[in-house]
């Protein structure tokens, strides 16, 4: 009984917090919190897989798959009352499929829009290394959407633009501070490799549906953005390597042709690693650079990326640091070239061109 009360409180608080961003998630989460049958169904999932955002994504996935038609209709019309009832019914009726989904899937939120930060950073690190071609290795890639960075169009709030103005994926970001974003173009990208413990394949309908399911059904702007990026990635799918980033990294770097600079990308990926794992990651990068130059572009919380200066900023300060690291033999050069907020929606470039 105490466990059920605790779970009900978790769902009620989640619903209250979602009110400002997703009224449908608010209504559904609160309805689940008030249903003893729904709470029993949720309680049959592994303890670490009972979070509301994951269960709601699983219900959304079943609706998108046509297995919960009443819920799909309620989501399509934005009917909160109908969605609340249909979600409880779907969860109770489809408990086993929901539990299966949450047991084998991870929530994939904020997958899109990092190119506004990554594009100038990759171009800058390639310039510093003297590279005319690069191969991108995205660690914690999920579906590899960041690997489309060379094919997006970016408009900055100060009037600058980068990338392909005809791209179907248009990204925007505000620029703060007194330094403009560098406008040099990316060199040719000759390889794209994603590394993830459980990568999603943009050519697999089930994986793509799960990505869509992780977006609240009443956030059409986010859904449209995701659709465009998935389509762009699907036109030139990356090579996906499954496994622990530290273990797989040498193989991933080796997939980049010898005449191109491997550029490893981490965007809010290292925070899930313990400190020892982050240090091992850096050591593996160093090992890979024994026979060729290797670069690393990091967009991580302050102090998360080893060797990247913190600029005197405090941890948990609300922004992230954009770091460039070039490793060449026994030489390591690391610099913090910018700060960003809102998952790359606001950028302050700090480095001199």
Question: pLDDT tens digits for 296-317?
Answer: 999 999 999 999 999 999 987 8
**Average pLDDT of span 28-38:** 97
- Do 91 and 174 lie in one domain? The reply is no
Whether residues 35 and 152 share a domain: the answer is no
Residues 6+ apart with CB under 8 A from 145: 111, 112, 114, 202, 229, 230, 233
Residues 94 and 151 both lie in one domain? no
End-to-end Cα, the chain, rounded Å: 62
Question: Is residue 109 situated within a structural domain?
Answer: no
For the chain, give the percent of residues with pLDDT over 70. Answer: 98
Report whether pLDDT(4) > 70. no
Same domain? 76 vs 189: no
Q: Identify whether residues 149 and 202 lie together within a single domain.
A: yes
SS3 350: coil
Q: Residue 156: pLDDT above 90?
A: yes
Alpha helices by DSSP H, the chain: 2-18, 23-33, 36-43, 52-64, 69-77, 80-93, 95-104, 115-129, 205-213, 220-235, 245-254, 275-288
CB-based contacts of 201, cutoff 8 Å, min separation 6: 143, 207, 237, 240
Query: For the ranges 26-30, 91-95, 334-338, 348-352, which has the lowest average pLDDT?
Result: 348-352
Q: Output 324 or 141, whichever has higher pLDDT.
A: 324
Pair 221, 269 in one domain: yes
The range of the structural domain enclosing residue 235 comes to: 114-349
CA pair distance 63, 61, nearest whole angstrom: 5
Regarding pTM above 0.75, the answer is yes
Q: At what angle do helices 23-33 and 2-18 cross, to 10 degrees?
A: 170
The confidence band for 3, taking pLDDT boundaries of 50, 70 and 90, is: low
Question: Taking residues 261-266, what's their average pLDDT?
Answer: 97
Decide: helix, strand or coil at residue 319: coil
In this structure, the answer to whether residues 188 and 270 fall within a common structural domain is yes
Is 2 inside a domain boundary? no
Question: 247 and 139, same structural domain?
Answer: yes
- Report residue 59's pLDDT band, with 50, 70 and 90 as the boundaries: very high
In a domain, 129, yes or no: yes
* Paired residues of 347 in beta bridges: 175, 340
Same-domain pairing of 230 and 331: yes
In this prediction, residue 329 carries a pLDDT of 82
Average pLDDT over residues 124-143: 94
Residue that terminates a domain, selected from 104, 135, 160 = 104
Angle 89-209-234 (CA atoms, 0-180°, nearest 5)?
175
Q: Tally the domains of the chain.
A: 2
pLDDT of amino acid 315 = 87
Last residue of a domain, one of 76, 104, 132: 104
pLDDT (tens digit per residue) in 208-234: 999 999 999 999 999 999 999 999 999
**One domain, residues 196 and 304:** yes
3-state secondary structure of 343: helix
| 124 and 99 in a common domain | no
Among residues 35, 69, 104, the one where a domain terminates is: 104
pLDDT, position 276: 94
* Same domain as 172, residue 82: no
Instruction: Give the pLDDT of residue 141.
Output: 79
């Amino acid at each position: 009984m105490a466990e059920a009360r605790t779970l009900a409180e978790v769902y009620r608080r989640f619903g209250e917090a979602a009110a400002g961003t997703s009224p449908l998630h608010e209504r559904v989460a609160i309805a689940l919190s008030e249903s003893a049958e729904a709470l029993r169904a949720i309680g049959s999932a592994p303890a670490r897989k009972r979070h509301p955002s994951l269960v709601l994504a699983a219900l959304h996935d079943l609706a998108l798959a046509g297995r919960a038609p009443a819920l799909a209709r309620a989501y399509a019309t934005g009917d909160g009352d109908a969605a609340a009832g249909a979600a409880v019914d779907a969860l109770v009726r489809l408990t086993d499929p929901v539990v299966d989904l949450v047991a084998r899937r991870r929530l994939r939120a904020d997958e899109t829009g990092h190119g506004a930060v990554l594009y100038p950073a990759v171009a800058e690190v390639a310039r510093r290394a003297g590279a005319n071609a690069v191969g991108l290795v995205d660690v914690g890639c999920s579906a590899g959407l960041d690997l489309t960075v060379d094919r997006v169009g970016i408009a900055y709030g100060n009037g600058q633009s980068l990338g392909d103005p005809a791209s179907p994926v248009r990204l925007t970001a505000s620029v703060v501070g007194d330094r403009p974003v560098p406008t040099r173009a990316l060199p040719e990208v000759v390889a794209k490799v994603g590394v993830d413990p459980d990568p999603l394949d943009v050519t697999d309908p089930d994986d793509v549906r799960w990505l869509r399911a992780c977006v609240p059904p009443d956030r059409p702007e986010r859904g449209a953005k995701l659709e465009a990026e998935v389509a762009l990635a699907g036109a030139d799918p990356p090579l996906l390597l499954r496994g622990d980033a530290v273990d797989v990294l040498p193989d991933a770097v080796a997939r980049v042709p010898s005449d191109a600079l491997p550029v490893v990308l981490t965007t809010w990926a290292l925070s899930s690693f313990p400190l020892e794992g982050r240090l091992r990651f850096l050591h593996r990068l160093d090992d890979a650079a024994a026979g060729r130059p290797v670069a690393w572009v990091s967009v991580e919380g302050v102090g998360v990326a080893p060797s990247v200066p913190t600029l005197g900023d405090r941890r948990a300060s609300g922004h992230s640091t954009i770091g460039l690291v070039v490793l060449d033999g026994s030489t390591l050069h690391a610099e913090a070239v910018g700060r960003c907020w809102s998952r790359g929606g606001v950028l302050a470039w700090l480095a001199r061109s």
